[in-house]
Amino acid sequence: MDLQNEKCVMVIDENLPLGIIANTAAIMGITLGKQRQEVVGADVYDRTGNGHLGIIEFPMPILKGNEEVIKMIRKKLYEPEFSDLTVVDFSDLAQGCKTYEEFTQKMGDISEEELKYFGVAICGAKKKVNKLTGSMALLR
């Protein structure tokens, strides 16, 4: 894989409480790591010989969005042009469920239009990711 031409970003609703922002980033990051294992580097060792698990090999900016912007980006990601990108979304439905079984059952009963996205993570060709998010500001 050519890491020079790869990019991963997260777009998170800046209007959410800090705890929900952190939770959204953590959940999307775990799922992204599962789906794109090749972006995670090898384990490293410090001078004293203690091991540290590998982390993503390139920066992953977290960008600020809002409910409408994230919904628009998510809709674009269903278009054929972006079908090769890895996409992880996190919604109000997911955040409100106590078990994965509850989440899967409720997801099957709701339309995409009804979801309120808290965030979306996108990983793939840098040009495509930039086309969707290149002008967005960092979440600070």
Q: How far is CA 45 from the centre of its chain?
A: 28
Quote the pLDDT of residue 55: 93
Asked whether residue 3 carries a pLDDT value surpassing 80, the answer given is no
CATH of the structural domain 3-133, one choice from 3.40.1490.10, 3.40.710.10, 3.20.20.140, 3.90.650.10:
3.40.1490.10
The packing angle between helices 67-76 and 126-133, to 10°, is: 140
Question: In 3D, which of 21, 29, 43, 22 has the Cα closest to residue 86?
Answer: 29
Of 32-41, 91-100, 101-110, minimum mean pLDDT range: 32-41
- The mean pLDDT value for 34-47 works out to 93
pLDDT of res. 101: 96
Token pair listed for 140: 């600070």
What are the residue boundaries of the structural domains of the chain, listed by start?
3-133
The confidence score (pLDDT) of residue 2 equals: 72
